[in-house]
């Protein structure tokens, strides 16, 4: 059998392992294994050991479905959910469940960190302003609420770091995922010692930083090989965060597409583009790209996207595509608080009901509220071109109503990549790059994983956008923020 590489997408809800033909980029199979997320109110936690078990299950399932022999695997890489806080003991075991990116309990700590330097100070040093999602705020929360656990920590890892270290025995991270911590200086390409002092984190607890590009973390150890059913010695890439991996899979980067906006519709929603400019606004996270020095991945993220809209559909007893434009109704589906705009204590808001309002319009209003929030963040991207086509990815990109709502509210052409597992495919390109010592963005571009169908612009619904903007700008601060953060 021809050589294959495995790209792992370890997300909030599941692990996917894509088995990919290393020469052509053809997706041969995807193995899957679920995760469990626990927590009430603003808490969102998962046991990292579950991620390791799921990785082994997904790899085994993917190889079986592809009919691939383990000996054919030439490289492996993990892309993981960003921002999560994993604290380990001396033998690499988790001291507690990981605090996930969408755990909003750390909102007060994020506010305190922001106040310490001011938004401008944080933007100049990291390109981002702390919000509840960022790992720095989670570490501060742990120190304040569980000081014994924080004091016992021998290592602090991001989710993908934890898995890569299990695979290779090497503690290493990459610039892309590190840039989501708020203790990494994206301009200098290094941990910021002053910020670590402010946060109260010893740099000795952190993994080494791998260079950008086709970086190897090491090779598969014998114990990891036995757990995964693979030969020892397989090259393992340093990996990255899920958003950075999706950008690689789309061919975004200094040697690929620049300033090409992407809108991702998943449990959460994200907007991003590869640029040479770091953003200077608190509305975006100034992430680094994982592929090339000097390339940034400015990103806006919303907590409430497909999951929130599906919840509204379930409450109404409707199929998710049984929707109509919202008419006078505005529904901001901020069911889990919100990150962009920064309203961690928010709840959903419904206004504009009439006797004539139908259930289908209520559902359509939920779609509109979620999409408008993402499009507003999209407008903040450096050098944003309001007429450029939008690449639409994620689970929602396969939903008719999601696609049509984006087209109607944006008035822009929409590109629908044929490949659906872009995070895993981006990780596979990182694996291929580490194995061959080649540029992963160039590999993904040659594979054509970002190519797809282009839908022409639709007539823009300016009235709907203006109606939602009016509610969000005037009513949201008063009606959505519950100052006692959960």
Res 484: pLDDT: 41
Query: CB atoms < 10 A from the CB of 311, how many?
Result: 16
Q: What is the DSSP string of 414-453?
A: EEEES-S-HHHHHHHHHHHHHHHT--HHHHHHHHTTT-EE
- Beta strands 240-241 and 73-80 are parallel
DSSP letter for 386, please.
T
- Specify which residues 30 forms β-bridges with: 18
Question: Distance between CA atoms of 29 and 66, rounded to whole angstroms?
Answer: 5
Q: Spell out the domain ranges in the chain.
A: 4-252
Helix (H, G, I), strand (E, B) or coil at 126: helix
Question: Distance between CA atoms of 175 and 187, rounded to whole angstroms?
Answer: 11
To which CATH superfamily is domain 4-252 assigned?
A: ATPase, nucleotide binding domain (3.30.420.40)
| CA R_g for the chain | 21
Report whether 83 belongs to an annotated binding site: yes
Res 292: pLDDT: 65
Question: Distance between CA atoms of 107 and 131, rounded to whole angstroms?
Answer: 6
Q: Is the pTM of this model over 0.95?
A: no
Question: Distance between CA atoms of 104 and 84, rounded to whole angstroms?
Answer: 12
Res 486: pLDDT: 40
Res 443: pLDDT: 93
Res 252: pLDDT: 86
- pLDDT 10s digits, 167-176: 999 999 999 9
The answer to whether the peptide bond before residue 341 is cis (omega within 30 degrees of 0) is yes
Question: Distance between CA atoms of 55 and 239, rounded to whole angstroms?
Answer: 14
Res 291: pLDDT: 66
Question: Distance between CA atoms of 228 and 165, rounded to whole angstroms?
Answer: 14
Q: Which helix (H) or strand (E) holds 466?
A: helix 462-474
Q: Torsions phi, psi of 330, nearest 5? A: -120, 130
Question: Distance between CA atoms of 41 and 134, rounded to whole angstroms?
Answer: 18
Res 262: pLDDT: 93
Res 17: pLDDT: 98
Q: State the residue for tokens 């993220």.
A: 301
Alpha carbon 216 to its chain's center: 22
Report whether 361 belongs to an annotated binding site: no
Q: What is the mean pLDDT of each run of 10 residues along the chain (486 residues)?
A: 92 95 96 95 94 98 96 97 97 97 93 96 93 96 98 98 97 94 92 96 96 82 96 96 92 66 91 85 85 81 93 97 95 88 85 96 97 94 80 93 97 92 95 92 91 94 95 70 44
- 275: closest CA among 250, 254, 244, 251? 254
- pLDDT 10s digits, 23-44: 999 999 999 999 999 998 889 9
Q: Please list the active-site residues.
A: 242
Task: Report the first-to-last Cα separation within the chain, whole angstroms.
Answer: 53
Question: Distance between CA atoms of 410 and 222, rounded to whole angstroms?
Answer: 51
Give exposure, 441-459, as e/b (b: 16+ Cβ within 10 Å): bbbbbbbebbebeebeebe
Helix (H, G, I), strand (E, B) or coil at 181: coil
Question: Distance between CA atoms of 165 and 153, rounded to whole angstroms?
Answer: 16
- 53: closest CA among 158, 217, 219, 166? 166
């Amino acid at each position: 059998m021809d050589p294959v590489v495995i790209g792992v997408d370890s997300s909030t809800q599941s692990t996917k392992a894509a088995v990919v033909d290393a020469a052509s980029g053809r997706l041969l199979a995807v193995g899957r294994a679920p995760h469990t997320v626990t927590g009430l109110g603003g808490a969102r936690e998962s046991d990292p050991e579950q991620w390791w078990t799921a990785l082994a299950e997904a790899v085994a399932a993917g190889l079986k479905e592809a009919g691939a022999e383990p000996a054919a695997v030439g490289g492996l890489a993990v892309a993981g959910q960003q921002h999560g806080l994993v604290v380990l003991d001396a033998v690499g075991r988790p001291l507690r469940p990981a605090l996930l990116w969408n755990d909003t309990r750390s909102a007060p700590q994020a506010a305190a960190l922001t106040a310490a330097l001011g938004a401008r100070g944080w933007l100049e040093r990291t390109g981002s302003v702390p919000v509840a999602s960022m790992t720095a705020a989670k570490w501060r929360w742990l120190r304040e609420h569980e000081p014994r656990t924080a004091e016992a920590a021998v290592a602090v890892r991001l989710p993908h770091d934890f898995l890569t270290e299990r695979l290779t025995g090497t503690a290493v991270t990459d610039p892309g995922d590190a840039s989501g911590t708020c203790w990494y200086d994206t301009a200098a390409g290094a941990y910021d010692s002053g910020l670590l002092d402010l946060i109260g984190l010893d740099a000795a607890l952190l993994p080494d930083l791998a260079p950008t590009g086709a970086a190897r973390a090491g090779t598969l150890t014998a114990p990891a090989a036995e757990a995964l059913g693979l030969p020892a010695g397989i090259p393992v890439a340093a990996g990255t965060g899920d958003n950075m991996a999706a950008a690689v899979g789309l061919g975004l980067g200094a040697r690929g597409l620049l300033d090409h906006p992407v809108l991702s519709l998943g449990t959460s929603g994200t907007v991003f583009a590869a640029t040479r400019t770091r953003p200077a606004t608190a509305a975006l996270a100034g992430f680094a790209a994982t592929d090339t020095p000097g390339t940034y991945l400015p990103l806006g993220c919303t907590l409430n996207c497909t999951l929130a809209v599906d919840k509204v559909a379930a409450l109404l007893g409707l199929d998710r595509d049984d929707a109509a434009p919202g008419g006078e109704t505005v529904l901001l589906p901020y069911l889990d608080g919100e990150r962009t705009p920064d309203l961690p204590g928010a709840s959903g808001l419904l206004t504009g009901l009439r006797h004539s309002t139908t259930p289908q319009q209520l559902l359509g209003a939920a779609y509109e509220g979620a999409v408008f929030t993402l499009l507003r963040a999209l407008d903040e991207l450096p050098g944003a071109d309001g007429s450029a086509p939008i690449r639409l990815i994620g689970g929602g990109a396969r939903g008719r109503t999601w696609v049509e709502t984006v087209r109607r509210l944006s008035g822009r052409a929409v590109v629908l990549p044929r490949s659906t597992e872009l995070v895993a495919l981006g990780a596979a390109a990182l694996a291929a790059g580490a194995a061959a010592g080649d540029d992963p963005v160039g590999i993904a571009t040659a594979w054509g994983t970002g190519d797809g169908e282009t839908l022409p612009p639709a007539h823009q619904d300016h009235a709907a956008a203006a109606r939602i903007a009016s509610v969000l700008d005037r009513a949201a601060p008063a009606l959505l923020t519950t100052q006692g953060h959960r």
